[in-house]
Amino acid sequence: MTSELLPSFWILHRVPFFYVRDLIFKVARDTDEGRVCSAGRRTLTLPSHAPHFMTSGNPDTTIWTRAFALLCAAQLLGYAQHAMLAPALPLYVTQLGGSPFMVGLVLAAFAATSVIVRPLVGHWIDRWSDAGVMNWGLLFQGASMFFCFIPFAGAAMLANGLRGIGWAGLNAGGYALLALTAPETRRGEASGLYSGVQGSPAILFSAFALWLIAAPFGGFGVVFAVTALLPFVGAAVGGLISRHLPRPVGLPLSKDSTPWWRQIFRFVEREVFLPSLLLFWLNLALPALTNFSVLYARDLGIRNFAPFFIVVGLTNLLGRPLLGRLSDKVGRSRSIAAGFTLQVIGLLLIAMVANLFGMICAGALFMAGNAIGISTTLAFAVERADPMRRGKAMATFSMGYPLSYGLGSLLVGSAVEGAGYVGMYLLLAALEAVGLIFMLMNGARVNSNGSKRL
């Protein structure tokens, strides 16, 4: 298997190089544009622990500021851990004797803890520091992996549950920082770039995990060591963000008289409920592609499955920035509806094929739909978030992913045992079709209220 992965890793070596090279050139160009746009303007900057002075976004049109670049780097390293564990954890649990349903429980533990702590994380962001919460989450992600060295499925479940707590801080803090730094007129494009960076580790790190498992010097222990290291490096990068965050004075101090304990346990911020629900629906079938596809491929006798993750990751990387920018022009509702449609087609196709090429085509279609849907719902949530409660609002929005990941993993694991892999993919296609109908019924609300709060 190791030798079969070598051609794939030549692609992996070249693609990130060109992407990073173009990224560096774009950062330099946008930074120069930012200097021109900001010429003659005097701003007062405040520390990141002063949330009541935040404006609703970056007034300039520059996307690639230093703060945004550091934010993307920290997110990439945090998501790299997640990408490596996507194929590794199911294989590890089944090697220990666990069933597909047990795999679903291990994955659901991650989602359960991530959802439970979101209100506390959002309150912490508003009262302390968005960058600090994100870095705390990265450190927690790394430390949790040491429980995976205990060869017991229950220990893997504990590790994944603890990792979910760190994941809550990584995402809620990151989304709050995105809402602060994204230019108001380019939120769809900025959200697409940001979510594209989050999805880009799937190009390299999922296949890298499979290669490490099969390598003579590797194994699951090596994978767990690498996945512990990556978030620690991300926290070091994230520690540099605060000094580059502009905080122009523009809003009065919040007059929310709700008791602090009720603020913490207010699970849902109404203004971002609709984008959160759409995010949940779009990601409900995602575990079937990112986690269970490797088990399905094994049942089909496909040995070298790494190209699947490469193509799916490339689709994610290229689709989110490009399609996110498109949503600024064609509208949020059309973009989200297109995302649901592509996901339904991808799920129907993967249920009908039985070879690597067919699975790659199906995965690319599904991920293209997921890319446009996720980047658009993120921009939608940023537009609706109240700057006075940005931490709680983005924590509410970011609950959509772990909820869908946990419930989706349990649903997929149960459906595989009851109806097989083909039946599971058909069931998910039907659920995503219902999501498309819901989106079409609420298209007017998405378009008419996309730039104002409830």
17-21, 379-383, 392-396, 407-411: least confidently modelled range: 17-21
Range of the domain at 173: 3-16+63-245+267-448
pLDDT class of 380 with cuts at 50, 70, 90: confident
pLDDT class of 257 with cuts at 50, 70, 90: low
pLDDT class of 448 with cuts at 50, 70, 90: low
Polymer length of the chain: 454
What pLDDT is attached to residue 434?
Answer: 95
Determine contact, residues 338/372, Cβ cutoff 8 Å: yes
Block residue for tokens 């196709």? 349
Top-confidence residue, 63 or 349: 349
59-68, 241-250, 309-318: least confidently modelled range: 241-250
* Residue 52 token pair: 């009541």
Average pLDDT over residues 307-330: 76
With a cut of 70, say whether residue 265 has pLDDT above it: no
Top-confidence residue, 452 or 433: 433
pLDDT class of 386 with cuts at 50, 70, 90: confident
| CATH number where 324 lies | 1.20.1250.20
What pLDDT is attached to residue 352?
Answer: 93
Top-confidence residue, 35 or 268: 268
C-alpha–C-alpha distance, residues 101 and 448, integer Å = 42
Top-confidence residue, 441 or 332: 441
What pLDDT is attached to residue 420?
Answer: 92
Dihedral sign of CA atoms 254, 258, 261, 265 in order: negative
Average pLDDT over residues 279-299: 90
Is residue 162 situated within a structural domain? yes
pLDDT class of 38 with cuts at 50, 70, 90: very low
What pLDDT is attached to residue 445?
Answer: 81
Report the predicted TM-score, pTM, of the whole model to 2 decimal places.
0.67
pLDDT class of 30 with cuts at 50, 70, 90: very low
The DSSP output letter for 454 is: -
Is residue 199 situated within a structural domain? yes
Is residue 261 situated within a structural domain? no
3-state secondary structure of 344: helix
Determine contact, residues 115/395, Cβ cutoff 8 Å: no
pLDDT class of 44 with cuts at 50, 70, 90: very low
Is residue 369 situated within a structural domain? yes
Is residue 454 situated within a structural domain? no
Tally of structural domains, the chain:
1
* Residue 237 token pair: 């990068």
* Residues with Cβ within 8 Å of residue 440, at least 6 apart in sequence: 337
Is residue 52 situated within a structural domain? no
What pLDDT is attached to residue 47?
Answer: 38
Is residue 258 situated within a structural domain? no
Average confidence score pLDDT of the chain: 79
* Residue 129 token pair: 């520091």
What pLDDT is attached to residue 7?
Answer: 40
Which of 164-173, 239-248, 269-278 is predicted most confidently?
164-173
What pLDDT is attached to residue 374?
Answer: 83
Which of 3-12, 21-30, 404-413 is predicted most confidently?
404-413
Is residue 24 situated within a structural domain? no
Give percent of the chain with pLDDT exceeding 90.
35
Beta bridge partners of 183: 58
What pLDDT is attached to residue 381?
Answer: 83
Determine contact, residues 84/208, Cβ cutoff 8 Å: yes
pLDDT class of 325 with cuts at 50, 70, 90: low
Tell me the per-residue pLDDT of 350-378, one tens digit each, with 9 for 90 and over: 999 989 999 999 999 999 998 888 888 88
Tell me the per-residue pLDDT of 186-233, one tens digit each, with 9 for 90 and over: 777 787 788 778 878 877 898 899 999 999 998 999 999 999 999 999
Top-confidence residue, 178 or 126: 178
What pLDDT is attached to residue 320?
Answer: 72
pLDDT class of 82 with cuts at 50, 70, 90: very high
- Which contiguous run of DSSP H or E holds residue 334? helix 332-352
Give percent of the chain with pLDDT exceeding 70.
77
The DSSP output letter for 253 is: P
